[in-house]
Chains A and B, each alone.
Chain A
Amino acid sequence: MDKTKQDEIFTVSVLTENKSGLLNAVTIIFNRRKINIEALNVSETEVEGVSRYTIVIKSDFDRAEQVVKQIDKLVEVLGAFLYREDEVYYQEIAMFKMETEAFLNNNDIERLVRNNGARILVIEKDHIIIEKTGHRKEIRELRDKLEPYGLLEYVRSGRIAISKSKRKTHVFLKELEKTNYFEEKNNYQ
């Protein structure tokens, strides 16, 4: 079978001008091709006024590539990049709410926290919050282990990812400005 036709997980990283409504324009493009967004994160970048959307999708390569090109075409998108799993470092963050009593009853929870690289964020009279960063699989494993001790609430973020390439956002932006056509070369008026 053609490898480009097999579904795999991709991280789409989109650098955009900070404009309201743009996220809608981006998600419409996925929706049009019936690609479900698995996770989405909007954040600032090291450059003021520039936002980054980190979007995780499951798709075959050809479709993913087409969608990224169409996102790149949006006027306020500075650049859209497609990464395979081995081309990015990525993390998710989760918070677990447990009863304080369950925590105090024995050492199991504390041991789970220590062994899984999590930490205790808050201890209140009636509840504690445990925080864990990692890959989805690790977070899920910890959740399964905490479950028997009375998990009150569990929340997990979308992925944030950073590419393994050496390109810096502000260098990319400078290059973009340099190569841009600031004169109307294609004037039909």
Chain B
Amino acid sequence: MNRMETDSTIIKKPSTSKQKAISGSEAVIRSLINEGVETVFGYPGGAIMPIYDEIFKFEDEISHVLTRHEQGAVHAAQGFSRASGKVGVCFATSGPGATNLITGIADAQVDSTPLVCITGQVQSGLLGTSAFQEIDIIGISMPITKWNYQVTRAEEIPEAIAKAFFIARTGRPGPVLIDITKDAQFELFDFKYEACKGIRSYKPIPEIDFFKVDEAVNLINAAQQPLILAGHGILLSGAEKELIQLAETADIPVASTLLGLSVMPDDHKLYTGMLGMHGNYAPNKLTNECDVLIAIGMRFDDRVTGDLTRYAKQAKVIHIEIDPSEIDKNVKADIPVLGDAKEILTALNKKVKKASHQPWLAKFNELKKIENDKIVQRDIYPKEGEMKMGEVVNFVSEQTKGEAIIVSDVGQHQMMTARYYKFNKTDSHITSGGLGTMGFSLPAAFGAKLARPGRQVISIVGDGGVQMTIQELGTMAQYNIPVKIIILNNNFLGMVRQWQQLFFEKRYASTELVNPAFSQIAKGYGIESERIDEREELAGAVEKMLAHDGPYLLEITVEKEENIFPMIPAGAAVTEMRLE
């Protein structure tokens, strides 16, 4: 992708004496600075070279992180955004550079992550001709972006970028792609930047219907067995305090979705754990016993609900959601309340009455005890045999006091991380939820670290996923980004292997991996590393890793054929959650 364009069709800069006139590519950088952007992730190539030439000149104001692959750039931008709440920005060239962004853009769309992706494009006269590295990235990215736009004239740049940032970060956030032709990058024009204040056809936040809020209040006040499902929307809206206030006032147990994790401290007495396929036993089972289900900023993903025809049929459903298209999509809401989670929770908190639901909460504790006895103890305090994933995660959780930012990849280790890291700080869990993108963790982790340099950032990743973006060790080494990487290595694509064991009679089709010596690879990149195989080594190795100043990779050999339980098999009801 870094091949030079050899076209002779680059337009010449018009000779103009106007003082204010700047090039389109300079306008791109100035627009980004106007939006407060300080870090950009990307990879250069022919069609975006004028923009790279400008960012070179502005290195005091905006820093560019050169990744090793465009997928690394977009995941890093996602990690940056998820850790900071800011809009993540990445650059790529036309053609393969742009198509390499696609997985990350799709991931950001599904997980509501604000991104602005800027791609170079061949000069406008060559559009549609299959010119070198020309691809219709606008057409390709249409179903996976919140908005996209192709710029063919320099004067469109400031407005397009202003709109891009406005659209990406407002309402339900999402990725935006701006494709800029090479001639527009060279063209001179009079630059003036105005931030976008609104778009006629775009309504980011629905107005709150206070009649609906009152109906919700009445239901909550009358509930005997209410349950809150807390989603990513609460983190996006910054409504953690309001959520805790509601839960404490009305004594309501709270369960979190995978993306909602860290929405409240793990040790809060009303926090009951994670929902979904490999979530906690109590909140899943009791979803089908609650009388009022209060879903906040979540979308009833099939991994949460299992069989929809047997999901919470007994309950009245209050669905608090910013995106009208999520209402009644999977679960019919008795009371939909559209709007921003923080505003709605604030309105609810004014009217919800104090209550106590001790017998209901006791049910959660009973089931929690069953899960603890049958699964948790075995997972995190095994007495013998090989090391277990849960044991490692639990130890890391204890050593970091639950205060690190944890960036997991996809698979068994991801579920173990979600289950056993005890998050004590908000906005601390970053993972690819909706799309389930292997290879996400490594680049997302250094993106997160650059956004939050003051926090410990740990990438927990499997031996399969890490090899999808392992080249990004080079980025970490080049910029000395002090991320800690823990590879939980079972030499298997573990989650698929588990399904093969449970549902395909142990036919392990293409799931066993012959792996490289990961610690040697890290060393090759100049990154400190260690590999451990024995339980006795764990404490010392984790301590050493956490204390290390700089990036560090710790490879841990774990039990080869460990299964994740509890589990709701695909298509089963939440009540059919299996403990073994």
* Residues of A that sit less than 8 Å from B by CB: 16-17, 21, 24-25, 28, 32, 62, 65-66, 69-70, 72-73, 75-78, 173, 176-177, 179-189
Q: A25 → chain B, closest Cβ, in Å?
A: 5
Pair B207/A179 contact, Cβ less than 8 Å: yes
CA distance A66 to B327 in the complex (A): 9
Give the dominant DSSP class at B's interface. loop
Pair A78/B200 contact, Cβ less than 8 Å: yes
Chain B CB within 10 A, most for which of A77, A176, A180, A186: A186
- Chain B residues near A21: list those with CB within 8 A: 138-139, 142
CA distance A78 to B204 in the complex (A): 12
From B139, B170, B327, A184 is in contact (CB under 8 Å) with B170
Q: A23 → chain B, closest Cβ, in Å?
A: 11
Give the dominant DSSP class at A's interface. mixed
- Chain A residues near B143: list those with CB within 8 A: 25, 28, 32
Q: A21-B138, A66-B325, A189-B165 are in contact. Are A76 and B170 (CB under 8 A)?
A: no
Pair A75/B340 contact, Cβ less than 8 Å: no
Pair A25/B86 contact, Cβ less than 8 Å: no
- Chain B residues near A176: list those with CB within 8 A: 200-201, 203
CA distance A187 to B171 in the complex (A): 9
From A28, A78, A183, A184, B201 is in contact (CB under 8 Å) with A78
- Chain B residues near A184: list those with CB within 8 A: 166, 170, 197
Instruction: Say yes or no for B147: interface residue by CB 8 A criterion.
Output: yes
CA distance A183 to B205 in the complex (A): 11
Pair A186/B324 contact, Cβ less than 8 Å: no
CA distance A176 to B202 in the complex (A): 9
From A17, A76, A181, B204 is in contact (CB under 8 Å) with A181
Total contacting residues, chain B, CB less than 8 A = 38
Chain B minimum-CB-distance residue to A78:
B201
**Interface residue ranges of B372-395 to A (CB < 8 Å):** none
Q: Interface 1/0s, chain B 411-440, versus A by CB < 8 A?
A: 000000000000000000000000000000
From B35, B204, B323, A186 is in contact (CB under 8 Å) with B204
Pair B165/A76 contact, Cβ less than 8 Å: no
Instruction: Say yes or no for B85: interface residue by CB 8 A criterion.
Output: yes
Q: B153 → chain A, closest Cβ, in Å?
A: 14
- Chain A residues near B207: list those with CB within 8 A: 179
Chain B minimum-CB-distance residue to A185:
B205
Pair B139/A69 contact, Cβ less than 8 Å: no
- Chain A residues near B327: list those with CB within 8 A: 69
Pair B201/A76 contact, Cβ less than 8 Å: yes
Instruction: Say yes or no for B87: interface residue by CB 8 A criterion.
Output: yes
Instruction: Say yes or no for B69: interface residue by CB 8 A criterion.
Output: no
From A24, A28, A72, A185, B340 is in contact (CB under 8 Å) with A185
CA distance A78 to B199 in the complex (A): 10
Q: A185-B205, A189-B35, A189-B36 are in contact. Are A69 and B324 (CB under 8 A)?
A: yes
Q: B284 → chain A, closest Cβ, in Å?
A: 26
Q: Interface 1/0s, chain B 161-176, versus A by CB < 8 A?
A: 0000111011101000
Instruction: Say yes or no for B79: interface residue by CB 8 A criterion.
Output: no
Pair A66/B329 contact, Cβ less than 8 Å: yes
Q: A21-B138, A28-B143, A180-B198 are in contact. Are A69 and B325 (CB under 8 A)?
A: yes
Pair A17/B173 contact, Cβ less than 8 Å: no
Q: A24-B142, A73-B324, A189-B165 are in contact. Are A183 and B197 (CB under 8 A)?
A: yes
Pair A188/B114 contact, Cβ less than 8 Å: yes
CA distance A189 to B138 in the complex (A): 25
Q: Interface 1/0s, chain B 191-228, versus A by CB < 8 A?
A: 00000011111111101000000000000000000000
Chain A minimum-CB-distance residue to B203:
A180
Pair A75/B202 contact, Cβ less than 8 Å: yes
**Interface residue ranges of B66-93 to A (CB < 8 Å):** 85-87
Q: Which 10 A-B pairs have the closest CB atoms?
A: A182-B198, A69-B325, A188-B85, A75-B147, A78-B201, A188-B169, A75-B202, A186-B170, A70-B325, A28-B143
